Chain A
Amino acid sequence: MFDFSTCSRSGCFERVWAGSESCKEHHSNPVDYQRKLISEIVENKKALDGRDLSGITLSNTNLEDFDFKFCRFTGAVFSSVSFRNAQFFMCLLDDISVINCNFSGSEMMSVIAAGSDFTNTNFKGSRLINVNFNGIKGDFAVFDESDLFSSRFIAASLNNAQFQDCNLKMVDFANASLRNTDFRDSNEFYLTTGSMQ
């Protein structure tokens, strides 16, 4: 299960890094350790269960069709990674940074993605059920043709994002910034005080 231990270095209260015993700063060999983690991901027959990959930096990798269950990616940085058709079940994707990544056709169920940066990210045709997207940066993100049932985007920044032809039943955009956000052909959603122009 998710490990929230703190660094073994005396006086350091940072969280342990990616299943190790210390934080990234106090790790004896972070470069080799991260290399080992990445090779394990790629060789893992497209299924990862219960892995802590928090704070990992991953670029130019194909993780299409991967199946992630109970994995923790908190604070990870993904650059040019394809998660097309990947599945995330009960994963922690909070505070991650996503640059030029593709999540189209992906499935997320009961995932925590709060505070993450998904600016300009493509989620087209995804099934994102019961996902906590509160506080995300999602300007220019594309969610077209997605099922977002019971997900929440409270206090998110979604300016110029696209939600065309989506299922937005039980979706909450309270306090979200929604300038030029496109909801064409989508069904009802909740909005308490979000700004919508």
Chain B
Amino acid sequence: MKLLSYFSGTSNSYIIGQDDGGEAILVDPDKLDVVLLGLIEANNFDITTALVTHSHERYIRGLRILKRVYNIRIISGYEEIGDFKSEFAGVGDRIEASGIGIETLNLEEWLAEGRIFRIGNLLFTGNILSAGYIEDSIPPEKRTLLIDDIQKKIMAISEELLILPSCGPPSTISAELRWNPCFQPQRQTCAVKPNTLL
């Protein structure tokens, strides 16, 4: 399997397909610009699936352009995203798309309609977990429960998994266990995006 990634300046999109090209999945379609299209074409990929971890205006824009170029199937935790019908992925579901097996992880209570998708040793975590951060929209009183749930249901899978978030740098489970403040015993400044701008 081949993984490509594209950082638009605000968020990350990922492409997963076979080594020799053909059908591929685009995760969290943001800007479908010349650079991303070039990356897709250079690897002989035909995007047949859009996997959306959570709803965001920029993904709706991305899907609009993507639909004009490719004949895609949209998979997410929603029945509809913007004007588009989406195939609903329930938590714990196993789906096959573009010839690739996808698993949706169970953090139902926290994600609402958002989803974390696992493909092999890749975890597409959307905005729930990225390098040193966890989701910041959870009320502080529930944060500890969320952290416990992430530790139980994600961190325990394997330290080898790659974390591929929608925003911010990629990481590994091993790195998060060691450096993410939320997973340290004292949980200092945990779960908040930076709030002090110097």
Contact = CB atoms under 8 A, between A and B. Distances in A.
Main secondary structure on B side of the interface with A:
loop
Contacts of A107: none
Given A90-B5, A132-B175, A154 B132 contact: yes
B151 interface: no
Interface residues of B, number: 35
A20 interface: no
B171 A132 contact: yes
- Contact residues on A (Cβ < 8 Å of other chain), bracket: 35 or more
A47 B45 CA distance: 22
Main secondary structure on A side of the interface with B:
loop
Interface string A107-129: 00111101100000000000001
A151 B3 contact: no
Contacts of B82: none
A135 B2 contact: no
Contact of B169 (A15, A112, A115): A112
A78 interface: no
Minimum-distance CB pairs A-B, first 10: A190-B194, A154-B132, A114-B175, A135-B179, A132-B169, A4-B160, A134-B179, A132-B131, A192-B189, A155-B179
12 contacts: A110-B170, A111-B170, A112-B169, A114-B171, A132-B132, A134-B175, A135-B175, A154-B132, A154-B181, A189-B198, A192-B196, A193-B189
